[in-house]
A = this chain, B = another copy of it.
Amino acid sequence: MPDSGPPPTLDDVARIAKVSTATVSRCVNDPRLVSRPTREKVQAAINALGYTPNFAARSMAAKRTLTIGAIIPTMENAIFARGVQAFQEELHARGYTLLISSSAYRADVEEEQIRTLVARGADGLLLIGHDRDAAIYDYLERQRVPVLAAWSFDLAARIPSIGFDNRRAMQSLAEQVIVAGHRRLAMISASSAQNDRARMRIYGVRDAMAAHGLDPETLELIEVSYDVQEGADAFETLMQRQPRPTIVLCGNDVLAVGALRGAEKLGLRVPQDVSVTGFDDIELAQVVRPGLTTVHVPHREMGRLAAQELVEMIEEKRTGRSQELTATIVNRASVLDQVKG
C-alpha cells in the first residue's frame, strides 16, 4: 500500500530536490532552461513522489489549458466519430487535449455544455453546424474563445467553418437520381429545426427538382429523429403515399438503413422495387446490403483541418479562415437506374 496524505505539490518536489519551486516548474515545462544535474535531481524527486502538476493551478497561472472542447450532437452512432477521431489525433500531435461532450441534439444542452467548456478554460471550441442562438455567439465573443464550426460550410455565419456545402451535395445526388429516371421522390430527414445540415439537405433536393422541371412541392417529406427504427417507420408511411415514390432520399446513412429495414418488412426489394440513398458515408453504408449510394463526406480531412485551423486561431490570435471541402457521391447498389435499367 503506497503512502497516504494529499497529492504531492510543486513545493514537495522542490523541498525534496532542494531547489526552488521555480526550478521545478521549469523542469516540467521547459527542461532546457535547467542544468543537467539539477534537472536529474528534480526528476528523481518527481518520480519518487509520483508528482503530477495540478491542472487548475497551472491554467490559472498560465491562462491557457492546452485543452480544446468539442460538442457533438450524438455519440450513439458513428456520424461524427471518424471526424472527431481525426480532430483529436491532430490536436494530440500539437500538444492539445480534446474534451468531448454530446448534446443529444438539444440546443439547451449544447448551450450548457458550451458554458461548461468555456468555464473550464477550453482554449478553443469546435461546434457542429451553425444553427444556434445569437446570444451564444455573443457570449463566446465576450469570453474571447476561438470557435470553429464543422460539418457545414457557411461564409455568412458568425463563426468560421471547415465543412462542405450540404445543400449542393444533396442537390447533386438528387439530380443524379432524377437523371436516372426517378420522378416521384420522397425524403426522410432528421429534424431540421436547429439543424442547418438537415435543412440544407432538404433544400438541396428541392433545388434539384426545380432545376429538372419537377415541382419541389411534390417532394414527400417526413422528418424524424436520428434513429434506425424511426427511419423504418417513416419509410413504411411513405410507401403508402399515392403514387408511390420510386426513391427515398435519406438525410443520413442511419436513416437510410432504417429505410432498408422498412423495405424489408414490407417485402419490397431495394433497389428493384424502390431505391434508397443515404448521406455521410459512414462505415455502416458499405457494410449493409444493398450497399448504400450516399454522399461521401471527407470526415478525416475535415477533422484534421479543423484542428489545424483552430490551433492556429488560438496560437496566433487571429480570426479563423473558413475552408470548403468537397463531398462526393458514392454509388453502390441501393439505387436503380430506371433509364439504363
Chain B positions within 8 Å of A6 at CB level: 144
B257 and A54 form a contact (CB under 8 A): no
Against B, the Cβ 8 Å flags (1 = close, 0 = not) of A101-128 are 1100000000000011011110000000
For residue A88, CB closer than 8 A to chain B, the reply is yes
A24 to chain B, nearest CB (A): 15
Given contacts A50-B139, A77-B78, contact A55 B257 (CB under 8 A): no
CA distance A118 to B76 in the complex (A): 26
Question: Taking the complex as formed, is A31 at the interface, i.e. its CB lies under 8 A from any CB of chain B?
Answer: no
Asked if A56 is at the interface (CB within 8 A of a chain B CB), the reply is yes
- Please determine whether B97 and A138 come into contact, CB atoms closer than 8 angstroms: no
A2 touches B287 (CB 8 A): no
The answer to whether B88 touches A81, judged by C-beta atoms less than 8 angstroms apart, is no
Once A2-B142, A50-B142, A76-B81 are accepted as A-B contacts, the answer to whether A97 and B116 lie under 8 Å apart by CB is yes
Q: Is the CB of A52 within 8 A of B257?
A: no
A142 touches B100 (CB 8 A): no
CA distance A58 to B339 in the complex (A): 67
User: A84 near B: Cβ within 8 Å?
Assistant: yes
Instruction: Name 7 extra pairs, CB < 8 A, besides A50-B143, A56-B57, A75-B75.
Output: A2-B138, A52-B118, A52-B143, A55-B116, A55-B119, A55-B121, A284-B284
